[in-house]
Amino acid sequence: MDKVIFLDRDGVINVDLLGDYIKHWDEFRFEEGALDALKKLTEAGYKIIVISNQAGIGDGIFAEDSLWEIHRRMLGELEKNGAQIYAAYYCLHGKESGCKCRKPETGLFEQAARTLKFDREKTFFVGDKATDIEAGIRFGLKTIFVRTGHGKNDENKLAGSVTPDYRFNCLSDALAVLV
Ligand SMILES: [Mg+2]
Ligand SMILES: [Zn+2]
pLDDT in tens, 77-100: 999 999 999 999 999 999 999 999
Would you say residue 90 lies in a domain? yes
- pTM assigned to the model: 0.98
CA 146 / ligand 1 centre spacing (Å) = 9
> Do 82 and 153 fall within a single domain?
no
Distance between alpha carbon 76 and the CA centroid of its chain, in Å? 18
Give the ligand at the shortest distance from the Cα of 8: 1
Q: Please enumerate in sequence order all residues whose Cβ is within 8 A of that of 55, keeping only pairs 6 or more positions apart, or say none.
A: 91, 92, 93, 94, 95, 97, 102
Would you say residue 152 lies in a domain? yes
Identify the band that residue 64 occupies on the pLDDT scale cut at 50, 70 and 90. Answer: very high
Q: Which of 8, 16, 128, 154 is catalytic?
A: 8
Q: Which domain holds residue 85?
A: 16-30+48-95
CA 75 / ligand 2 centre spacing (Å) = 22
pLDDT at 158: 98
Would you say residue 104 lies in a domain? no
Its sign, for the CA torsion 39, 42, 46, 51, is: positive
Would you say residue 173 lies in a domain? yes
SS3 142: strand
Would you say residue 91 lies in a domain? yes
Would you say residue 75 lies in a domain? yes
CA 9 / ligand 1 centre spacing (Å) = 6
Instruction: Name the domain count of the chain.
Output: 2
> Do 84 and 148 fall within a single domain?
no
Would you say residue 117 lies in a domain? no
Q: Which of 2, 10, 119, 173 is catalytic?
A: 10
Give the ligand at the shortest distance from the Cα of 125: 1
CA 6 / ligand 1 centre spacing (Å) = 12
Would you say residue 115 lies in a domain? no
> Do 21 and 78 fall within a single domain?
yes
- 8 flagged as catalytic: yes
Give the ligand at the shortest distance from the Cα of 22: 1
Ligand 2 is an ion; its neighbours by CB within 5 Å are 91, 93, 99, 101-102
pLDDT at 27: 98
